[in-house]
Amino acid sequence: MKRMKVIAVMMILALLMCSCGANKDAEAAGEEDLTPTSSLTIDEEEAAVLNEKVPVILYFSDEEQTKLVKEIRYVDIKEAKKGAEALASVTVKELIAGPKANGLKPVIAEGTSLRAPVVIENRVATVDFTKEFIDNHPGGKGLAELTVYSVANSLTELKEIERVKILIGGKSTKNFKDKVTLDSDFPRNDAVVNKEVGLALPEDAALAPVIGDEETDAAQISDEDAEDPLE
């Protein structure tokens, strides 16, 4: 009789232990289900803002006014959806507005505006500026070239554009401060871009140099060897 009681007690203890183990497993499973998959979250308002913007690449002068530097700018995605010409026009307007990142300088003269929307034909973008583009420009061959290629390089970031034609007051002009002629269209010119500086975000406190590698170093062109399309 005593032996049967002992067996019964042992069976009850075994059942209790199994029950406790099952409860712990259930609790652990519940905790796992409640664990977030990511600690990085943004609210709905921030997500909506990001979804309504599209990045464009602009080129401005460095502080020494010897090279161009990239700056990324976010514009309304509604403009991009209107087509390449609309996005090109917005790009030029942002270029006229000047840089937002520290350490960069504008290259288009103050008071300049876009006379008409940018037109793209046969992969050539025609940009028509007001006369202030020339009249208010400080001059100098180096700065004049940076001005031209800030426009050309910014627009050729768009896949629909390979070359850029600049008009002043609706007309082609040969005389840009007696340094550059504007009567032909311009291709992209990476020789005037500072390759040692990365994308300058508007919210950055300063320009951060990019860590160079063999491929980047090999791609860099010295001032003596660089081919200037203006010559």
Question: pLDDT tens digits for 161-217?
Answer: 999 999 999 999 887 877 688 888 999 999 999 987 666 665 544 444 443 443 434
Question: Does residue 43 form part of some domain?
Answer: no
pLDDT of residue 224: 40
Contact between 94 and 75 under an 8 Å Cβ cutoff? The reply is: yes
* Residues near 208 by beta carbon (within 8 Å), at least 6 away in sequence: 197, 198
Give the lowest-confidence range in 8-17, 63-72, 178-187.
Answer: 8-17
Q: pLDDT tens across 21-56, in order?
A: 544 454 444 444 433 333 345 455 555 455 788 899
Range of the domain at 179: 55-204
Tally of structural domains, the chain = 1
pLDDT of residue 214: 37
Mean pLDDT of 116-141: 94
Q: Which of 67, 69, 46 is nearest to 58 (CA)?
A: 69
Provide the whole-model pTM. Answer: 0.68
Per-residue pLDDT band for 69 (boundaries 50, 70, 90) equals very high
Question: Does residue 210 form part of some domain?
Answer: no
Asked if residue 125 has pLDDT above 70, the reply is: yes
pLDDT of residue 205: 43
Question: Does residue 39 form part of some domain?
Answer: no
Question: Does residue 18 form part of some domain?
Answer: no
Percent of the chain exceeding pLDDT 70 equals 62
DSSP three-state, residue 222 = coil
Question: Does residue 7 form part of some domain?
Answer: no
Which two three-digit tokens encode residue 208? 């951060």
Question: Does residue 99 form part of some domain?
Answer: yes
